[in-house]
Structure formats: C-alpha cells, structure tokens
Amino acid sequence: MSDNYFNGSNGYGIACYGSASPSAYYNSTYSIGGNNRVQYNGNRGIVITGSSAPDFGSPYGYNSIFSNTGYEIDNSTGSYIFARNNYWGNPNGPRGGDINGLVYYVPYLEDDPNPDRIVSGDYLALQKTNSEFPPMLEQAVLEMSNNNYEKATELLETFILHEKESSYGSMAGVLLLKNLDFYMDGRSRINEIENLLNNEVNKGAKFELLTGLSNAVLKTVDKNGALTFIEDLKDFELTTEQRNRILFQKAFTNIYGLNDLENGLVYLHEIVNRNSVNTLDYQLAMEEINYLNQIYDLMPKPGDEENNIESIEATTLAANYPNPFNPTTTITYTLKEKSNVNLTVYDILGRELEVLVNTTQDAGEYKAQFNASQYVRRIVPTSGVYIYRLKVGDKTFVKKMLLTK
C-alpha cells in the first residue's frame, strides 16, 4: 500500500483482521510503498488481530500515523509488528498511550514525511464543530494533549457516569482507554476500569471498556478471564458492527490466547453465517478459516484417495471437504477393522437430518456425500453449522461443517 489517505472514518483507519497482512513499507529497490496517512479516525488508527502480520516499516515506513481518537496502533495478536521510521505526530515518537501491544517503532521520524499531503478533517475537530459536542469531552482532549492525564481521566469518567444517554459514550470509552495507557501500568488500568464498571454507565462507553478490558486481561496470566468480560455484553442491543467485533474477539481469544482452535472456529463460522457474502466481515472470517485450515491441516487434501488397508492404524473421521460447502460436501472416514458403522448428520439444534451410512463395513477408507439442498429452507436456514457423527462399534466421533449461502 502506498500514497493512501486513511482518514475521517467513524471507526478504524486500517483494520487487519483474520490473516490480512498488508504491506505498507517503503521498498527502496523499486521506490514504491509507504507514504500513507492514517489520521483523524474516530476509534483507532490501525487495528491488528488474529493471525495478521502487516508490515508498516521494515525498516522504512514513511507513513504518518497520528491524531486518531484511540490508539494509533492497537495490536492484539501477541506477535511483534514492524512500524519503523514512521512519523507519530511529534519529534519524540509515539507516547505511551499511542500504541497498544507489541510494535517495533524505533527508529521513528522526527518530521512528517508527507507534509504536502496534509488533509483537513481532524475527527475530533470536526465533531467539535457540532453544537452538540460535549464540552467535557473537549476539555478532556485538551488535558490529554497537555499531558494532564489524571485530570483527563476524571473528566472522562464523570462523563461516562453521568451522561448515560449520550451518543458520544463510545468516543469517551475509547479516549479513556487511550488516556489510562499514558500513565498506568496494566494491572492499574484493569482495576480502574473494573471499578468504573461497578457503576451504571453509558452503554456505548461500556461496550468499548469491556472489549478493552478483555484485551488487557488477555495479556495477563488469567487468559480465561478475557472471555468473562465479553460475555457481559450478551444482553446488549448490539449493532451488526459491534456484534461482529465481539465474535472476532471471542474467536481470536480462543484461538491465539487459549489455544482452543475448535471453539474459535465456531465463532468464525457464526460470523460467516450471520453476514452476507459481500460484506467485509464475512470475507475476513472466511480468510481466517481458510488460513487455519491450511496451517492446522483441518481439511483432507484433494487427491488423497488411496485406500491402503494395511496402513490404517486407527479408526478416524476426517474433516469434510470442501468446508465451508454449498450444497454438497464429502465426509471421509477410515476403519481399522470390520465394524458396524453409522454416519448421521444433524442440524445445530440436534435434529437428525439424514443417515448417510448404517451398515457393516470392512476395514478401509470410505467416503459419504451430504447434499444439503433438500433441507435448505424446508427444515434449516440457507446457511449455518451442521454436525456429523460417526459411530463405529462403541466409539463415537463428532465434527462440525458449515453450509454457506
């Protein structure tokens, strides 16, 4: 990516979800890349989650990344991201609350490499032109710019506690998370947010604070606690964007924080099931599912057709292929010895849809095809998670598969 403006969004400037790993560094060999401006966005500048590994400077970025409402870079992957030789809005590099997570940002540029590309549209400045913009938030931003972080915290928490119906609650929550990062360590930030959330607060702020708190706890030894805070949002009336953010956070917390691949995939499949195929979140979730399938070898490979009975050492049930599918998919299993076999497909509610196999079979590899077209709309939704169960003698194997639109 080069010579782009990522500015003025209500949300993020750049969002790297799933395995999305854009390159935004300067390539000196070809004199291309870098020189992007990520500025004036209403939530965060750059968000990096899942298995993403973007490059914003290895070794040269020449990007301008500053004046976003929340973190300039919010990296929750647990891996280092390169963002060297970028400009962070001042000659001294990023401040403590500008970056969340592991980011290589040294060395940094003292001057803006894109001075002739400065664009108007400071998100906060634009909001302040609105006669309804809360003076308390304006004062909090001023205190933050003057390094009066404790005063800014006092103003932001007062707003979150007393302005429960304000549409600026989400902004206040994002600002508070960034402000606390400037002068508190991790445990102190967690305690501060938990104490605030013991009270009735603005719902928009609560959403941002609970998701932020989940990320903060994930970096501690109590990784399971990260999901607890996300579950506190289950009774919220969520927008589609908020719901997808929660599902992504649950997925990545399970996969990369708790090493629970199976549960993580369930949440990614839910995103696919809930969103249209042409939406960005659908595409990001599918990209992550495909990446995980490749890395963890979850799918049988096309062409693996050999039926070598002598090499079979155990009875196994493979992942269906393709997965996701529409409308047909093939289920492969192997039998160590002659056995009574039952292979049945169920919907997510546990209703039996079809018995694919119910007979005695010799040792070897077998394939059974499931066609969902006869059930779609008549019994089940047009897309969703299905369960298939293989019973071989006294052993049972269960896996999930996903039908897409």
Residues 6+ apart with CB under 8 A from 303: none
> What is residue 128's predicted lDDT score, i.e. its pLDDT?
47
CATH second-level architecture of 309-403?
Sandwich (2.60)
Residue 338 vs residues 315, 341, 390: alpha-carbon distances, Å: 10, 9, 15
Q: Are strands 64-66 and 37-39 parallel, antiparallel or unpaired?
A: parallel
Given a cut of 60, is residue 20 above it in pLDDT? yes
**Percentage of the chain lying above the pLDDT 70 cut:** 82
Three-state DSSP state, 342: strand
What contacts 313, CB < 8 A, 6 or more positions away?
A: 336
SS3 310: helix
Considering only residues 142 and 305, tell me which one the structure prediction assigns the higher pLDDT.
Answer: 142
Instruction: Give pTM, 2 decimals.
Output: 0.58
Spatial separation of the C-alpha atoms in residues 249 and 34, rounded to whole Å: 29
Beta carbons of 334 and 366 less than 8 angstroms apart: yes
249 burial (CB, 10 Å; 0-12 / 13-18 / 19+) is: buried
| 342-379 confidence digits (pLDDT tens) | 999 887 666 778 899 999 999 999 999 998 887 754 44
DSSP annotation of 253:
I
Q: How far is residue 315's CA from residue 119's CA, in Å, rounded to a whole number? A: 63
The 10s digit of each residue's pLDDT in 213-223 is 887 777 665 66
Six token digits for residue 240 = 């589609």
pLDDT band at 307 (very low <50, low <70, confident <90, very high): very low
Domain boundaries, the chain: 237-298, 309-403
The mean pLDDT of the chain is 80
pLDDT tens track for 236-262: 788 888 888 888 888 888 887 787 888
Helix axes 261-274, 240-252, angle to 10 degrees: 160
With beta carbons less than 8 A apart as the criterion, state whether 41 and 308 touch. no
Q: What is the pLDDT of residue 198?
A: 93
